[in-house]
Amino acid sequence: MSDTFSQRRLTLAGALKALNACIAKAEAMKVPQCIAVTDDAGHLLAFARMEGSKVLSIESSTAKARTAASSRVQTGSIHAEVGVKLAIATGGKLTNLKGGVPIVIDGQVVGAIGVGSGTGEQDREVALAGVAAVQGAYVG
């Protein structure tokens, strides 16, 4: 067994591409959003708070992206009771609110997007637009 491994990571250019696609989608929907894009470890690469978005969505969008990167799945899919325990155990760093999606290329999570300020479904729709903008990416 090897002592190291090779892993792809989302670049700043890729994060900005995803961010701009999310902004365009949110504008088309007329739903101002907070949008966070992270690397595969959940570290913030790019962020935007659109005019009219909710201030507290700064925190929730970042937590959604961090959670999607960490869990490797979309947020909002675990049982509510587990979601509350997850939030408490991590001091609010992880969340089960809808709107966090991992960015996957060739079966490997390279980053994640978290969106907040609309309904859960609106947040998810905006995040998916960002994933679609990254070459070769799909949602895990």
- Would you say residue 21 lies in a domain? yes
Query: Using one digit for the tens of pLDDT, what is the confidence trace for 36-77?
Result: 999 999 999 999 999 999 999 999 999 999 999 999 999 998
Mean pLDDT of 99-111: 97
- Would you say residue 140 lies in a domain? no
Apex 131 CA angle, 39 and 16, nearest 5: 60
- Would you say residue 40 lies in a domain? yes
pLDDT over threshold 90, residue 131: yes
Mean pLDDT of 115-122: 98
CATH number, domain of 52, equals: 3.30.450.150
- Would you say residue 1 lies in a domain? no
Enclosing domain of residue 46: 12-111+118-131
Give CA–CA dist 61/114, Å, rounded: 5
If one counts the domains in the chain, the total is 1
Confidence at residue 82, expressed as pLDDT on a 0 to 100 scale: 86
- Would you say residue 2 lies in a domain? no
- Would you say residue 47 lies in a domain? yes
Query: Using one digit for the tens of pLDDT, what is the confidence trace for 8-46?
Result: 999 999 999 999 999 999 999 999 999 999 999 999 999
- Would you say residue 48 lies in a domain? yes
C-alpha torsion 110→13→58→22, nearest 10: -90
- Would you say residue 7 lies in a domain? no
Of all residues in the chain, what percent carry a pLDDT higher than 90?
82
Phi, psi of 46 (to 5 degrees): -150, 150
